[in-house]
Each structure stands twice: as C-alpha cells, then as structure tokens.
Structure 1
Amino acid sequence: MANQKIAILGAGPSGLAQLRAFEAARRAGVKDLPEIVCYEKQNDIGGMWNYTWRTGLDKNGEPVHGSMYRYLWSNGPKECLEFADYSFDEHFGRAIPSYPPRAVLKDYIMGRIDKEAILKYIRFECPVRWVTYDKSSKKFTVTVMNHKTGEQETNEFDYVVVATGHFSTPNMPYFDGVEQFPGRVLHAHDFRDALEFEGQNILLVGASYSAEDIGSQCYKYGAKSVTISYRSNALGFEWPEGLEEKPLLTHFEGNIGHFADGSSKQFDAIIMCTGYLFHFPFLPDELRLQTHNCLYPDNLYKGMFFQNNPQLIYLGMQDQYFTFNMFDAQAWFARDVMLNRIQLPDTDTCRDDINEWLSRYDKTESCNDSIDFQASYIRELVDATDYPDFAVEKQADLLKQWLLDKQENIMGFREKAYRSTVTDTMATELPGRWLDIKDDSLEGFMSLRFVEPHKESA
C-alpha cells in the first residue's frame, strides 16, 4: 500500500474532503498510507468558495474557476451544510443565523481544515494538462503545468480522483440579434457585483438557482427592474414589484428583448443564468465522464467510480441538494476502496447497481422525492464507512421546509431560523430584513446583534 500513489485533481470542497478522509485514517493509526499529491489550479484552497474580482482568465492565463460574487448569501440553511465532525457552534462559539453570507461560510469551511496536515499535499498553481492510462502497467500518467516553476511536470499514479467540480464552465446559448445588443452581455459565472446594475433594467435568461439568486441580489442593490425568462417552467414565486417572470426569450432587436408570449421590453444588460457544462479538457474520451447536471450521473458506480476504469474516481459530480457532507461521504468511501477496506464488485455487478440507482432516480417526480433520493444515496455511503454518522434524514426534512419557506416569501426566507441536526442548537435570527442588510463581510455579519428565535421558528 505504501508504494501506491494517488493524484487528487482540485483542492475545493471535494478535494479537501478526500484529503481529510486520508488524514482521518492517519490519525486513527492506519499505517502505510499511499503517497498523495493534490494539484490545484488556484493559489489557495477552497475551490468555488474563493472569491475573485477576475473574470475570463487568471493571472496565469488559465480560465477563472470561481463563480462567486460579492453580496452572495447562502441560499440554503447552513444546518444542511453542517459537517458531522465540526459544528458551527464549535467554530463560532455561539449561535448564528441559518443563512450567513459567503465570507462567513467560507470561514467555517476553512476552520475545519488542519492546514499543517493538509497543505503539504497540495501543489498550487498547477492546472492539469493531460491524463492517460496504461493498461499494461495499470497506472495513470498525469501532466500538469507548474506555473510557479514555469515548467510542465509528469508523474505516475495508481488512482486519479477528479475533484474539479462542474459549475465553472459556462453554458452560453445564442439568441437571434444578441450580437447587436448595445449593453452588457455576460454569464452568471462572470457576475461579480450587483451594484454594477443599479438603476438598470436587467434580463436574466434561465430559471434555476442562479437566476433566482442573482435576480434577488440585483433587486436588493437597486436595479430598476429584473426580468427572468424561463424555458419550461416559471420559478413561480410571488416576486415584489419590479421583478417579474416571462416565457422564453425569442430574439433581440437592438436593446429590445422579445418573448414567446408576444411581449417585449427594453433592457440595459443581459445575464445568462443558463447553467454549466461538464468540462474535462485534460481527459481523453475513454476516461471522460459525459453527463449533464443530474442527481445520479450514469457510468459512475456508487456515483464515483468510472465504469470503464474504477481506478478513476469522480467526486461531487451530482446536482446537489446536499453538499459538504455528501462530499465527505463520497471521500470516505473512495478512501476505503483505495485502502482495500472495501472491495469493488466485478464490472457487471457495478453496472447492475448503477442501473438500479438510475431506475430509482427515474421514479422521482417532485423536489421532495429528489431530496429523499439523495439522502438515501448518502445514507448508503455513510453506513459503509467510519465517517461520523449524522442525521441525513433530518437534514432532508430541513431541505423540504426550506422549499416551503421560499414559496412563502422568496425575499424573506433567509430570515428563518432552524435547529442544528448536529448539536441541536437553535439558530438565531437576523436583526432585520435580509433586504436591508447590505454588508456581507465576515466582520460586518458577526457584529450584528442576532436575535433569539421566536418559539414558532423551527
């Protein structure tokens, strides 16, 4: 085991989860752990949680990974993000509200990381250029560009863990006339600051979480109007005056957008909230996962092990109701396979298991069904390892309540408080309306006078 080598591609939440899984094994007394190298394109850990003002290309000419923007707040309860082995109480020393801003959540995520133990494995500013697999030696060759040395490096590995995420390569559709639109056209990936659109009429194309949240942010920070254009179904919330939904955009004439219902409107800027592509330019076709954003990608045994080559492991490739604990559950399971604690079945048995999960997924009809589906997936992984048990089913119930709270008040759901499934601590409440709290910094948020929740909050 000691002579085995593992490459982890990416030091975001999934890659860090894999590193922590091996660190947990080391602390538990496991000897002869494999050699681990983690390649990270950015110059810091955190992946998508690293905010940058840059768009397009970074300082090394690499595509900017992050889609985070100023003033972003959690759009789901922190109680559904809480690590089983590191609570919000432990990190902050007191109760905080259920919906903190990005900087507060990142502080919590990074607080769990033992940097002294983890950083020694990570090579920063090292984007992966190419990965190949030799069937005779059963080893991968990984080539990276080390921007710190200015040279490419090549190493051999027994396992490759792809933890590069799938929310960083924009899906950018075309609409007739858009090339003549006189205002700004951008993808949600490049959205950085809602204040840029103060006093403007904004069109958001797409009807998922990006449109919902960016639309809310632009409204909060003074956009004159926000229009959300949907392809299939409207988000359906009771929006405040100045924020509306329209059926699919058909074309532009100058700065006039025309919609499928025959209506039209003048716009100053267009933000494409049209999702992301699964993009692995460093993988040849025979190793590359080809899928769309869904709760159970095909050709991944247990949602991780590539059917064509189970030495290739994909983490965090699912659409996500659950996030951090799901990444942990996957990382612990993957670790135990790499340590030979869990034996993978033969190819046909793996295929049968994938088909069984896909069949279950096909039967989901509602958001609640989808939440229960992902909860059962996580439960299966957790039960197979020594990852600390956590109340995934209770978190599923919170997610269902979150959906109801959004329907009740899309601009006020972040003022709700929930109870931790880890510590049983009740969250505090914001001292005022979310719409009125403009400072999203860690210092600004933690200086607020949080309110003890009303008894009816749950």
Structure 2
Amino acid sequence: MTQPTEPIVIIGGGQSGLAAARAALQAGLRPLILEASDEPGGSWPHYYDSLAAFSPARFSAMPGLDFDGSPDRYPHRDEITAYLRRYAATLDVEIRTGTRVETVEATDDGRFVVRTAGGAQVEAAAVVAASGSFTRPIVPALPGAESFTGRLLHAADYRSPKDLAGQKVVVVGGGNSAVQIAHELTGHAQVTIASRAPLAFLPQWREGRDVHHWLVSSGFDDLPPAWLIHHVHARLVMDGGDYAQAVESGTLVRRPMFARLDGEHVVWADGLRERVEVVLMATGYLPDLGYLAPLGALDEYGLPLHQGGLSLVRPGLAYLGLEFQRSFASNTLRGVAADAAHIMGPLAAHARRAPAQVGL
C-alpha cells in the first residue's frame, strides 16, 4: 500500500478538527492541524458567557475522552473549552497554533498547497476544512438599518446581560441562541424577541430522560437532511420548561418580525412604532471558507459544494462541522466523530493514490 509522504492538513483546531485528526490517525495517515488562534478549542471560548451545551455531558463527549463529573449535567462553555484542549493533548498529532490559512491551491497531480498568513507553505496529500463559522456571522439586510440610531449587534458580539442592562432591546431570531439570550436579558433589560415564525419548543425532558437519550436511542440523530425535512418543519428550541412558560406568561414578549427600522424606532408589522436602543441579531453563521476560493470548490455564496462533507469539485478535499452535513447530529460534539469517520476513508484512498494503484 502506497503511503503519502505529505500530511493530511486539517484547517481548524476545534471539535471538528480534532475529530478529523483522530480519524486520520485511525486511518494510518499523518494529520497536521493548522489553527489560527493561540490554542485549540475552536469557537467555544468566544461564545457568550452563559452558554452551556444543549446536551448532557454523557452525550457531549467525543470518542476516547469522557467529561469529568456528573454525566447528566450540561457542561458550561469554559468547561467545554478546557475539555477540547485536554482532548487535543491526548492526540499524537502536530498542532501549529497561531497559523491562519490564507489560501489552498491544487497541484497538477491531485495534491494541495496550503499557504498561511505568515508566509509558510505546506504541501498536503488531502485537506479537511474544519475552520467553523463563528467568524462569518449572518447579518441580514434589515430595511432602514442605515437610518437606525441605536446599536446593531450580532450574537457574536454579545457576552453578558450586564452589557445591555437598562436598555430596550429587540432580539432578532427564533433559534436556541435567540431565545436563550432574550430570556436571560429579561431580568436586566426591556426585551422583545422578533421572529418570522412562531417559536417552536422541543421539551428538554420526556419520561424522565433528556431528549438526547431519545435522539440517540431512536436513531433520530442519524436521519439525513433529505428525510429530516419531512419531520422538522421549524427551527427547534430546546426548552427545559422556562422558555415556553416565559412566553406564555408574557415575561418574554415575542412579536412577528418588524417591518423596518426608522431612526430610533422599530416599526412593527402592525404599524406600531417603538423606540429601541439595541437590535441584536441571533441569526446564525455561515461556514468561513474563503481560503478555498482558488479551488473553485464554493458556490456563489461561498458555501461548499459537497455531498456528506466530500467535495463535489476537488477529490481530496473534505469538510467537517457543517450544519446538517450528513445528519441531525452533524456539527455537534456527539455527532462530529461519525462525520469524521465518514470522510476519512475516501480521503485516505485519495492520499494513497488509489486510482493509480488499480491501474487508472
């Protein structure tokens, strides 16, 4: 069996990059992680202060390393950051921190050249893009935004409710982050959540078990996107009971998305004008993959052309950490290892020049 002399380069040292490195080792490859920040851990250190995992520790661990403590608690942001750094230390892989990738180019023989912001050049047998999306927040074009005299923020900018204490805030979005942020702001600010569709709550507990027990034991976690659309018709919000109750009681006010911004006002769909000081958009993120532009591997919106994480354009290029990449559990701590295993077989075959070995 022909072994590649070049490493398989993994761009990003968060949960996806670490899962890719472990899968590469198991496939007999030599992974090299290039991480832009000073330590592995991905986006977790940069999220808002109160964020905790939506799944209990027993369902949040990656293969080979359990969380310490009670398996039924929901690990906090800082605990997950520390966990990922411990996980990185268990892997016998080279991790180059402070190394931001600027471009990836293809060679004539199917290899890749990875160029970094520091001027370094790395030759790669294959590439895994696992750089996440935190650095590319979705900022929708809000009508009248150019006239708004208040502050326009994204959830990526948000850290703590004390930063917005005493202000009138509209949180835009209908997912977990929007509801979590709006709910924790209710005790500190006058807050309204604005969403295009009614909030859809998924109870965190059923029959005495966290919903992740049912997601895993039933196989729901493994359902592909093409099947999920027949069952999931709205963006679901995990709710331990507090969120739905807050909406029903009026403690957390939800209104249909406003029509526009106008000076210091939000103009609601019914024509009501309300003075607000902050509009905070919890509107999600997109994969930040601009460094792949030279490969022609992205569509017009900068999104990857892929199937299950494998590039449809460039053999030897794969992705990890995409939302619904292959299943409901993709892009989660509990699901990323399965996606990593899925992509690594084809990547190993490419790195070992499998077509040439069979005479093609």
Scaled to the shorter chain, the TM-score interval is 0.7 to 0.9
Which residue in 2 is equivalent to 1:142?
114
C-alpha distance in 2 between matches for 1:333 and 1:155: 25
| Unaligned 5+ runs, structure 1 | 26-32, 52-67, 147-151, 347-458
User: Deviation at 1:7?
Assistant: 1.1
Task: Summarize the Cα distance change of 1:34–1:343 in structure 2 as closer, same or farther, 3 Å threshold.
Answer: closer
Which residue in 2 is equivalent to 1:22?
24
Indicate the structure whose relative CO is greater, using CA pairs within 8 Å and at least 6 residues apart: 2
* 1:181 aligns with one of 133, 148, 159: 148
Secondary structure at 1:131 match in 2: strand
Any idea what the Cα deviations from partners look like across 1:241-289, whole Å, max 9, x if unmatched? 4421111111223322111133332212110112223332111265433
Q: Which amino acid aligns with 1:208?
A: G
Which residue in 2 is equivalent to 1:315?
320
* 2:59 aligns with one of 80, 92, 101: 80
Q: Does 1:227 align with 2:192?
A: yes
Which residue in 1 is equivalent to 2:233?
none
User: Deviation at 1:12?
Assistant: 0.7
C-alpha distance in 1 between matches for 2:337 and 2:154: 30
1:202–1:223 Cα contact (<8 Å) kept: no
Which residue in 2 is equivalent to 1:260?
269
Aligned residues: 305
Which residue in 2 is equivalent to 1:42?
37
C-alpha distance in 1 between matches for 2:63 and 2:32: 26
**Structure 2 counterparts to residues 299-338 of structure 1, below 5 A:** 299-301=305-307, 303-319=308-324, 321-322=328-329, 323-338=332-347
C-alpha distance in 2 between matches for 1:226 and 1:176: 20
C-alpha distance in 2 between matches for 1:270 and 1:37: 41
| Unaligned 5+ runs, structure 2 | 202-243, 356-360
TM-score normalised over the length of structure 2: 0.75
Any idea what the Cα deviations from partners look like across 1:388-439, whole Å, max 9, x if unmatched? xxxxxxxxxxxxxxxxxxxxxxxxxxxxxxxxxxxxxxxxxxxxxxxxxxxx
C-alpha distance in 2 between matches for 1:34 and 1:223: 52
**Structure 2 counterparts to residues 158-169 of structure 1, below 5 A:** 158-169=125-136
Any idea what the Cα deviations from partners look like across 1:136-161, whole Å, max 9, x if unmatched? 32111111112xxxxx1122212011
2:24–2:30 Cα contact (<8 Å) kept: no
Which residue in 1 is equivalent to 2:226?
none
User: Deviation at 1:206?
Assistant: 1.6
Q: Which amino acid aligns with 1:9?
A: I
Any idea what the Cα deviations from partners look like across 1:262-319, whole Å, max 9, x if unmatched? 33322121101122233321112654333989xxx98433x12111222101112123
Structure in which a larger fraction of residues adopt strand: 2
C-alpha distance in 2 between matches for 1:315 and 1:83: 14
2:105–2:294 Cα contact (<8 Å) kept: no
User: Deviation at 1:123?
Assistant: 1.3
Which residue in 2 is equivalent to 1:443?
none
Q: Which amino acid aligns with 2:80?
A: L
1:13–1:46 Cα contact (<8 Å) kept: yes
TM-score normalised over the length of structure 1: 0.60
Identity of aligned residues (%): 27
User: Deviation at 1:87?
Assistant: 2.6
C-alpha distance in 2 between matches for 1:140 and 1:80: 36
C-alpha distance in 2 between matches for 1:251 and 1:36: 49
C-alpha distance in 2 between matches for 1:250 and 1:330: 40
In angstroms, what is the RMSD of aligned CA positions? Answer: 3.0
Secondary structure at 1:130 match in 2: strand
**Structure 2 counterparts to residues 63-102 of structure 1, below 5 A:** 68-88=47-67, 91-92=68-69, 95=70, 97-102=72-77
